Structure formats: structure tokens, C-alpha cells
Structure 1
Amino acid sequence: MASVQSQRKKKGRLNSTYKSLGGPSNPSPTPEVEKKAEKEDRTLSRNIDEVVFADHSFKTWYPSWYPKEILGEKALALAEEGKGTGIVVKTLYICRKCFKYSMDGVEWKTHQDLCEKNNDPPGQEIYVKNRGKGEEAGEGRWTVWEVDGAVDKLFCQNLSLFAKLFLDNKSVFFDVEAFKYFLYVHTNLESGDKQIIGFFSKEKMSWDNNNLACILIFPPWQKKGLGSNLIGISYSIARRERIMGGPEKPISDLGRKSYKRYWGAVIGRWLLNNFEEENKNYSKKKGMPTINVSIISKETWIHADDVQYMLREMNFVKLIGKGPACEMDINGVEEWLAKNKVSIAQVVDEDGFLPGYAEKKTSEEREPN
């Protein structure tokens, strides 16, 4: 464990860097405010009206607990009492590269001009869509970068503070060292400029086998199907790690919409491709073919509880008792997909991952001693 002196030196360096780029000296609220904010987020009103990020200006949805240099001591004191003050900051400027923040547009512009000289996000590029297969100039280049919260702590704290403005049921992770962050990055092929448009986070060690802690596509890039792409990446990583899991519960309303589309697409694709063959192993009941939920879960790597939930939502199956079997009208699959405008096309290019990334071999695959 680092000594108190070395910890103070490290904090001093961070704060010095932060000040020199036009940001507040204290990047996070007090522990007391963190605990109170975590309990009261759902009842308190927004405290920041709008943010300027990249070339966009847009309204916030929920409060986020920036330090006193931004919110003021009065607002934080009221937060400790579980009270809200309404809007205390009209506009907050966010660096599109490192997520540092300022209420001064001139300082923000000066800092961002410096920050943009380092075009790459922190961490490691682990995924490139269509790696080695060519890219379309109109679509640009889509990549995922893995960032370790213990290595790039300040970046991950600032990202979390920004994300909390648009997440209703997740506390900001000031203990970012226990998480990895996966940034969704778009590259303009003409200019070469890289833009982070969203992310998901994941615990390094989850006792519940969660493959995702929180997920957010930033508002200017929402409603483009990009959330399903990130969800697909999280499942692909979990499958490589041989972990059967799902997202941390509860899921936000916005997140649930994305998950329903992803689960529906994956389950629908599997049923259309495999139902007839798999059903040969099962008897028919009252003329209606049956299928086993556990088989769908095993083949799709979607947790059985989530498979059951989604099959009920799709409303063309009937679960038999409390068991894993269900009666199914296979013709209802295409009807549901068409009605909900859900595509069954693959959203993840498995060849896009770095060779061997996160792969965990089974006992059968391991080489003998």
C-alpha cells in the first residue's frame, strides 16, 4: 500500500495538471456527498441544465455530483440533507477527449485544443469492426478501446460524472479502480479524427457474473442502433471469458429498450436457424412444438432468466409450468421481428477482436502437460 506521503504527491500532480488545463482542482465530491447522492439521485431534480460536448449542445436528464467548484458549497450541503436546489449550472463545457469540465467556454476551448493533439483515447484498442476487410468512407471506422480504471483513474472518474447526467439508476463510480471501461469510438476516415460516442463499464471481478455494469450512448448519437452494438460486444467478451451472465440489475428504462432489441434479435435468429432441428429431440404437446430455454441460453450465451423474460415479451411462446420448456409458434418469430423492426443481422464482427483477446480455454482445449 502506498504511503500517505506518496498518495498526497500523486494527488498533487493530478490536481496540478487539472488546474493547468483549466479544470477545477478537486475532480470529485466528498465521500459524504457521494453516499448521499447515491441514495437521493432518484428524487433530486437536475442540477446542470445543459452540456456542450464536441459540436453538440444538449439538455441533461438527471443530476450528477460534480465538485463544489462547479455546483457550489450550498448545493452540496443541501444534497447531504437529501434536498435539491434545481438548476445551479446553466451550461457545463465538457472536453470531448478527456471529459474534463469547466463553466468557462474560453478555458474549455483552450484546453480542448491542447487535448486534441493526442487523438487516441486512453487504453488499448481491442476491437475494429471489419478488421482487415476494408472500410466504407461514409460509415467511418468503428472501434472499441479498453480502459483500466486503476490506470486512467481521472479519465474514468470524469467519464462517470458526465455519464451520470444521463443515467437514472446508477451511482457514479468513484471507485473506478475496480472497473474496466469500454469506449465506443468513431473515426472519420477523411480527417482521421476520433470521437468517443458512448461506453460501457464492467467490474473486473463480478460475483454475480455481470458482463456489464452500465452502458450509455451519448444523446447526440442515440437512436441509431449503436447501443445494440455495444451490448453485443459485452456478450462477445463474456463468451470469450467463458462467463454466462448478463447486465447488472436493475436496468434503466433506456437500457432495457436496447437489451430487448438485442435479446430479441439474437434469440429470433437462433430460433429461425435452429428450431426445426432442435425440436426433433422433444415431444409435441397438443400439437404445439416445444423448446427448452436452457438450450437457447447455452447457444446464445444469454442468461436463462433473460431468455425467459424475452420469450414472454415476444408473446409467441407459452412456458410449461415452472420448468424450462415452452410451447412455441415458430411462425410468430418473424411476425414479432417485423412488427418491432428488429434486424437479425450480426452486430459484432468476431474477427474484429485482437487475436486471442480475453479468450479462456476450456479443459479440453488446454494442451496436456
Structure 2
Amino acid sequence: MELELRIHDNSKDKDKETLERNIDDVIFGEVTFKAWYPSWYPKEIIGEKALAGDKGGIVVNELYVCQRCFGYGKALVEWVRHCRCCEREVPGQKVYVHGGWREDDSPRPTIGEWSIWEVDGGVETNLSLFAKLFLDNKSVFFDVSGFNYFLLVYTPPSNSPHHTSSTQHKQIVGFFSKEKLSWDNNNLACILIFPPWQRKGLGALLMGVSYAIARREQILGGPEKPISELGRKGYKRFWGAEIARWILERQERRTKGKKGRGKREEVGIKLLSEETWIAQEDCLAVLRDMGVVERVGGRGRGVGVGGGGEDGEGEGKEVVKVRIDKEAVRGWCERERIKLERVVGEEGFRPGYAERVEDDGEEEDGEEGEGEVDEEGDEEMGG
């Protein structure tokens, strides 16, 4: 079976003028950084011409944004006055604490805390406007009522100089959005880490939380497509780490047990997808990108990527066997500096959050698919 994951990059098809920024610098608390894309703030900020679609370039040199409520303005004095008075707490409800759930919302004395808060996207207009400055081709401003936002919040330790009685100590540093009802089983629509906090592995944390929530809801899916070039790079690393861990841990479990040693084990792309909760087409694309797949002779009957629908399409089709070299998997992890520790722990979620009760009559099926694992440690997989 030949399958190629096609992700269309719309940015190449668009007139470059449509990507012109209308705001230059963003002052966000104590940090200043450049906007990447235009955002449609009210006419009091960007003017009537820009709001009407005039491609006149930069119309605001400096936009001041409150770190707590994402309120905005062009006047420094008014912004400083607002920030001193703003007492807005992080909206929504806390659903995840990295490192282990805790009900207590007070800051810890010596270590900071990363947490995820869920809020209705319809009430976060200011955040949506701010996010649009760094997101392209995403409807983070329009139709937000159909989405929930999952805010990534950092709480510094109480002994930190950033935590004082006169300042709000919690800082929103990014978020991802998720459709309240997705017909395509999308577990994420938009994802953004604000520029000052990028390149710290926080994007992988948000991706991990989105998949963990989908797993708790028993929904196998993935991010909304098409994926941006930047998002594609992040997801390839995340998917690759999850798949590499599954492959290597599977070998380790079999090595420790005597029952399966010396025997070939049939595994397939369907089983890999079900146990990692990564869509089959994403699994196949990443395995090829990792360069760890070698086609071998022989074919078998299995479940293809179409997989077991009501009409039976995809069932019993002939599949091509490929071998996965586990040493190549380890080599890929070393080259890409991939850490195999789980990004998100189930113990971090609020008890009972998003858990779906399974029907007692459902039967587990973990035997479908094609592939072999030989005693030398290479895995053959049907795709």
C-alpha cells in the first residue's frame, strides 16, 4: 500500500501583501517583540482603512497589551495605569498540573508550576486578537464561540522576584484551541506559544495535553489540517518521539518476558495508531520521515488505513510488509535530540476530567494488522 500524507501550504498561494503586518512592536509586560501577521483590532487602534482591508502596512508602531486580561492600547501612560489596577485572574477552570494534580492554587515556595486552564473561546476576544498577531490562516478571531481554549499558565515560586503581593503571579504564555464538536475528530485547531517563551519545549507540552484529552475522551484523531510549516515541524518531532517510545518499549517488554522470546510478533499500523492515539496516516508519514523503514519481501492480509468502516472498506486488503530497524530508531532519537520520557502524565489531570465511560459490551481488539518482530530486534510492519 502506498500512502502519502499531503499537507497543503496555503501561504505559498497567497499574495504576499495579504500577510503584511499592521502592527510593528508588541509591548507585553516587561518584554517587547515583533508582531508576525496582521490582526484586526478595532478602528480606534488600527484605523478605518486598515479595518476595511487596506494593505497599507504598519499603522501602529507600538501596541501595549496587558499580561493578565490582554487589554490593549496605544498610549503608554494609560497602559501603565491599567496594568497597576488590573486584577483579572486566569479565566476558566484548571484541568491539568504538570508533574501531578494539586487542588491548592497557591504558588509553591521553591519550584514553579505549569498548568492548563480550560475556558470558553467565546469570552476570550482580547486573547484571540492578540494571538492573531502570530498566527496565519487561522480563524482565531472569527467563530471562536465554537471552540474551547486551553491556556498554558506559569506560576513562579513564591520566593521568585516575579511574585510579589502587588502583582498577579500567574502568567499565560500560550494556548491551544479545540472545537467543542469536531466532525473530523480534530483534537486541536490552533496552537501558539507566545514568542518570548518559544524554544523551551512548551509546544510539545500542549500537543501532549491535546492528545491526552482525546485519549480520555476515547477519540482518535489529530490536529486540524492543513498544518502550517512551523506546526508541521513541531508535530513531526512529537509524533516521532511517541512512535519511537512505543517501538522501543515494546521490544523491552518482550525481552524481559520469556514467553515471547524467539517468536515473531505480528503488529500493524492499526495497532500502532490505537496504542499511541496518533492517526494512521500520521504514523506512516512520520515513520518514512524518520528513515527507519525498510521494505521487505512478503505480503499479508490486514487492515489498511481506511480501516474497518461500516461498509467494510479497508478490511482484509493485501498490505506490504516493512521492517523497522530499532537501532535506526535509537539513532534518529540521538540525531534529533529526542527525549523519550512522556511529556504528559495522566496523574496531572483533575480527577475525572474528560473521562468517557466505556460500554461493558465493547470488546478490545489488539490483534489486527500485519508485521513481525524477530529475535534480533527488528520489527516488520504492514502498511
Q: Is the shorter-chain TM-score for this pair beyond 0.5, marking a shared fold?
A: yes
The one-letter code of the counterpart of 2:342 is Q
Of Structure 1 and Structure 2, which has the larger fraction of its residues in helix?
1
Matched residue, 2:275:
299
Question: Residue 111 of structure 1: which of 56, 76, 82 is its match?
Answer: 82
Q: Within 1, Cα distance between the matches of 2:90 and 2:170? A: 8
Matched residue, 1:221:
197
The one-letter code of the counterpart of 2:65 is I
Matched residue, 2:131:
163
The alpha-carbon distance between structure 1 residues 301 and 59, as it changes in their structure 2 partners (threshold 3 A), is same
Q: Quick check: 2:17–2:55 contact (8 Å CA) kept in 1? A: no
Q: Quick check: 1:282–1:291 contact (8 Å CA) kept in 2? A: no
The alpha-carbon distance between structure 1 residues 168 and 174, as it changes in their structure 2 partners (threshold 3 A), is closer
Matched residue, 2:4:
none
SS in 1 for 2:90: coil
The one-letter code of the counterpart of 1:329 is D
Which segments of 5 or more consecutive residues in structure 2 lack a partner in the other structure? Answer: 1-13, 305-318, 363-383
Q: Within 1, Cα distance between the matches of 2:130 and 2:261? A: 51
Question: Is 227-236 or 356-365 further displaced after alignment?
Answer: 356-365
Matched residue, 2:140:
172
Question: Is 204-213 or 47-56 further displaced after alignment?
Answer: 47-56
Q: Within 2, Cα distance between the matches of 1:364 and 1:277? A: 28
The alpha-carbon distance between structure 1 residues 48 and 353, as it changes in their structure 2 partners (threshold 3 A), is same
Q: Quick check: 1:290–1:328 contact (8 Å CA) kept in 2? A: no
Matched residue, 1:357:
353
Q: Within 1, Cα distance between the matches of 2:155 and 2:171? A: 6
Q: Within 1, Cα distance between the matches of 2:79 and 2:183? A: 40
* Structure 1 residue 282, shift from structure 2 partner: 12
Matched residue, 2:91:
122
Q: Does residue 331 of the first structure (1) align with residue 299 of the second (2)?
A: no
* Structure 1 residue 229, shift from structure 2 partner: 0.5
Matched residue, 1:17:
none
The one-letter code of the counterpart of 1:215 is I
* Structure 1 residue 138, shift from structure 2 partner: 6.1
Question: Residue 44 of structure 1: which of 10, 13, 19 is its match?
Answer: 19
Q: Does residue 59 of the first structure (1) align with residue 59 of the second (2)?
A: no
Q: Quick check: 2:132–2:141 contact (8 Å CA) kept in 1? A: no
The alpha-carbon distance between structure 1 residues 132 and 301, as it changes in their structure 2 partners (threshold 3 A), is closer
Q: Within 2, Cα distance between the matches of 1:360 and 1:272? A: 29
Matched residue, 2:244:
268
Structure 1 residues 269-320: Cα deviation after superposition (integer angstroms, max 9, x where no partner): 1110114768979998xxxx98521111110101111111111110111467
Matched residue, 1:188:
156
The one-letter code of the counterpart of 2:326 is I
Matched residue, 1:75:
50
SS in 2 for 1:52: strand
Q: Within 1, Cα distance between the matches of 2:113 and 2:225? A: 32
* Structure 1 residue 197, shift from structure 2 partner: 0.4
Q: Quick check: 1:241–1:359 contact (8 Å CA) kept in 2? A: yes
Q: Quick check: 1:44–1:84 contact (8 Å CA) kept in 2? A: no
Q: Quick check: 1:293–1:326 contact (8 Å CA) kept in 2? A: no
Question: Residue 339 of structure 2: which of 340, 343, 352 is its match?
Answer: 343
Q: Within 1, Cα distance between the matches of 2:138 and 2:336? A: 28
* Structure 1 residue 184, shift from structure 2 partner: 0.3
Q: Quick check: 1:263–1:310 contact (8 Å CA) kept in 2? A: yes
Matched residue, 2:9:
none
Question: Is 263-272 or 311-320 further displaced after alignment?
Answer: 311-320
For CA contacts below 8 A with separation 6 or more, give which structure has more relative contact order. 2
Structure 1 residues 243-292: Cα deviation after superposition (integer angstroms, max 9, x where no partner): 000000111222122211211111111110114768979998xxxx9852
Matched residue, 1:246:
222
Matched residue, 1:317:
293
SS in 1 for 2:323: strand
Of Structure 1 and Structure 2, which has the larger fraction of its residues in strand?
2
Q: Within 2, Cα distance between the matches of 1:356 and 1:282? A: 41
* Structure 1 residue 325, shift from structure 2 partner: 4.7
Matched residue, 2:209:
233
Q: Within 2, Cα distance between the matches of 1:281 and 1:243? A: 33
* Structure 1 residue 149, shift from structure 2 partner: 2.5
The alpha-carbon distance between structure 1 residues 291 and 330, as it changes in their structure 2 partners (threshold 3 A), is farther
Q: Within 2, Cα distance between the matches of 1:161 and 1:319? A: 48
Matched residue, 2:308:
none
Structure 1 residues 115-140: Cα deviation after superposition (integer angstroms, max 9, x where no partner): 2x33x301001111223689986651
The number of residues matched between the two structures is: 314
